[in-house]
Amino acid sequence: MTLNSSSSNDVIIATSNKTYRGLGGDDTYIITKFVQNNAKINIVDTEGQNTIQLVEGLTIFSTTFASNAVSLELTNGAVITINGTDNFSFDLGGNITKATIAMSVDFPSFADSFGVLNLPEKGILQGKSGIEVSSQNLIEASSDNFSWKLNSPESSGFRSEDVNALMNYLKTPSLSTQAAILIKGNNIIAEYYSDGFDNKSMATSWSVAKSFASTVVGVANDEGYILSVNDPITNYIPQWENTEKDTISLKQLLGMRSGMVDSVVSVYYSSDMVSQSLGRSITNEPGSVFSYSNEDSMLLGHIVENATGMKFQDYADSRLFDPLGINQTWWTDQAGNTLTYAGLDMTPREFARFGLMVAQEGRWQGQQIVSSSWLDMATQTYDDIANYGFQWWTSNTYPFFQALGLDGQYIYVWPDADIVLVRFTFYEHIGEGSTVRVVRGDDNDISYHSTTSGNANGSILASLFNDAGKETQNEEKDSHEIIVPTGKSTYRGLEGNDTYIISKAINSNAVINIVDTEGENTVQLVDGLTISSSKFASNAVSLSLSNGASITISGADKFSFDIGGNATTAIEVIEKDFLSFAKMFGVEDLPESGTLSGSTNQTVLERNLTDSPVSFAEFDIVIVSSDFG
C-alpha cells in the first residue's frame, strides 16, 4: 500500500500493520512510541535518499541485522523491518516534527551502534537488546525510567461515559473501595482514592498474590530451573517420593487440581504453613477435580526454593520486583516461609505495574521479565473442569483474565487492548510494623493486616470493564495513521481515525489540502508553530504559515484540533471542536457563507495561541542528508 504518493519529500510515521513503500523524493520515516502493540511494519523505499528517525525515549527490545536489512523489535512487541537499508540514513534522536537536530549515520554505522561491527554476507546477526534512544545516542535502557502519564479517556480511545460507568460502580459506598485505577499502556485513564488515601497508600493482595507466585514459577521455568509443568511434583518435593502424592504433576498443583484435601483454617493459623501444606492427604485423583486451595499455592514458594537453591523472596526480588521498580512487602509465617497464597503489600500503582507487564506479554522497559509462552499457558483455560489456569482466573466470555483476592481485591488484565484495571478495598496494618504473620488462638491477629469486605458483582464488573475497553482494542486501530503533510499535495480519505501533524517540516510555499471524511480525525498544531493568517468558512479553514505555506482543511466539522499536540512525542493535548478552534482565532461565529479572517501572527505555545512576531526562519530544521526546504 502506498500512502499519499508524491514526488516531493514526505514525512511518514509508521504506526500499524502495513508496508510503507516507494514514495518519490527523499522521505523521512519516524519511528515513535505511537507504534501499535504487536504491529508488523515493513518499510521498503528504493527511491531517493531516505531517512529513518528513531525518536528520543524510544526503547528497542531487540535487533536483527542482515547485509541490507534490519529488524527492530520494540518493547510493546511491534516489529519494524527496513529493507534496502543502503538507501537509508539513520537519525538517532531525530524528530522532524519538532525540528530536532539529529545525528545522521549510514547503515554500517547504525549497525555498529548496536554492537554489529561487520554486517553478515549471509544470514543474520543479533544486535544489542534493551537499548534506549537518548540525546542522539544509544544507551542501555534502565528499568527505573518508567513513569505514568495522566490521559483523558478519549485521547486513548475510550468513551468517557463508559469509563465513568465503570468507576462510578466501583465508588459505590457499599463496595468500600480504597483505590481503583484504569490504565492503557503507561497512561492512567481514571484513578480514584477514597478520602484519607492516595497513590502512596498501601494496599494488600490477599489471593491476588497467587498470580504473582505463578509468575515467579514461570521465571524459574524460563531459566531452566523448572523443566516442564508436566514434571512429577517429586522433582521439586522429593519427600513425596513413593507416597500417594508422587502422581501429582506441577501443572495440577498450579491449577488447583492436585486432588489433595485443603484446610483453610489449618494453614491460616499454622506457624509453619509449608509443613502444614506438605502433610495433607489425597481425596481425589489428581487432575480430576478443581478445588480452590491456599495450601496448593503455599507450596509454590517451596518448589521455587528447591528448584533454584535461593530463598523465594530473594529470587522474586531479583527476577520480578526489582526490574519492575516495585518496593513491596510479602508477609511470611513464623518459620520464615513467604505466604505465596496471600499477604503481598504494595501501592495500587505498583500492582498496576505488574498488571501492565503481564498485559505486554511479559515485557517491561526493554526486558523480558517472564516469557509470553508462560503467560499464555498460565492465563488459559486448559480443561473443562474450571475457568482457572495457573493461579489466574480465566474467562470463556471475555478477552481478559483476572487475579482475585478476598474482600474484593482485583487485577483485570486485557492484553489485546493493553488495558489493566486494579481495585482494592480499605486496608489496615495490624501490629507494630512486623511483616511476620502471628495469630492467637482466639482468632485475633497480633501481626498481620485486614481489609474491609467489598466484593463487587463479578458479572457487572466484567461487563462494565468490557464496555469500557472494547472500543480501544488494538486490532480495531490497524488503519489509524499519523500523517505529516510537507509538500504540495492533497491528503485524503485514509480509513480509520487519522492524525495530521502540522509542523515546521512543511516546505516553504507548499499548498496542502486535507480532505478526510472517514473516521474521527485530528489536526495537531505543534508547539512553536507560527500561523501568519487564518480564514474560516462554515466547514473549512485555511491556515497560512510564515514561510508561505498554506494548509486548507475541508470538512472541518469532522476534525478535532489539538493545540500544541504532537503524537510523535506522546504529548498530552486538549482537543477542541471546529467552532472552539475558530474562537481561538477570534472568530466567535462561523459564517453561513463566504469567509471570515481570524487573528494573525499567532504562535502555538503551551496549548494556546499567543501573539508573536516570531519568524518561521527562527525554527530552521537541521537534518543531515535530507532536504525539506
Which of 152-156, 342-346, 376-380, 531-535 is predicted least confidently?
Answer: 152-156
Reported as a single tens digit per residue, the pLDDT across 243-289 is: 999 999 999 999 999 999 887 677 888 999 999 999 999 999 999 99
Give the whole-angstrom CA distance, residue 365 versus residue 409: 26
According to the model, what pLDDT value does residue 621 have? 26
21 against 321, higher pLDDT: 321
Residue 136, pLDDT above cutoff 70: no
Reported as a single tens digit per residue, the pLDDT across 55-90 is: 888 888 889 999 999 999 887 778 999 998 988 999
Reported as a single tens digit per residue, the pLDDT across 460-514 is: 999 999 999 987 754 334 446 777 777 656 776 556 778 888 887 788 888 888 8
pLDDT bracket for residue 5 (50, 70, 90): very low
Which phi and psi (to 5°) does residue 608 adopt? -145, 175
Give the whole-angstrom CA distance, residue 223 versus residue 306: 14
Give the whole-angstrom CA distance, residue 169 versus residue 406: 19
Reported as a single tens digit per residue, the pLDDT across 325-337 is: 999 999 999 999 9
Give the whole-angstrom CA distance, residue 117 versus residue 138: 15
Residue 619 contacts by C-beta under 8 Å, 6 or more apart in sequence? 99, 504, 528, 530
Grouping H, G, I as helix, E, B as strand and the rest as coil, residue 418 is coil
Burial of 365 (0-12, 13-18, 19+ CB in 10 A): buried
According to the model, what pLDDT value does residue 147 have? 81
558 against 568, higher pLDDT: 558
The C-alpha cell of 447 is what?
501481626
- Which amino acid belongs to residue 248? I
Q: Is 611 left (phi over 0), alpha (psi -120 to 50) or beta?
A: beta
Which of 92-96, 291-295, 355-359 is predicted least confidently?
Answer: 92-96
The percentage of the chain sitting over the pLDDT mark of 90, rounded to a whole number, equals 54
pLDDT bracket for residue 547 (50, 70, 90): confident
Residue 574, pLDDT above cutoff 60: yes
Reported as a single tens digit per residue, the pLDDT across 22-39 is: 566 788 888 887 787 778
Q: What is the mean pLDDT of residues 103-120?
A: 90
According to the model, what pLDDT value does residue 609 have? 75
According to the model, what pLDDT value does residue 213 have? 99
DSSP annotation string for 145-165:
----EE--TGGGT--HHHHHH
Structural domains of the chain, with CATH: 11-140 (no CATH), 162-474 (3.40.710.10), 480-619 (no CATH)
Residue 180, pLDDT above cutoff 90: yes
According to the model, what pLDDT value does residue 356 have? 97
pTM for this prediction: 0.67
Q: How confident is the prediction for the chain on average, in pLDDT?
A: 86
Residue 625, pLDDT above cutoff 60: no
Q: What is the mean pLDDT of residues 206-217?
A: 98
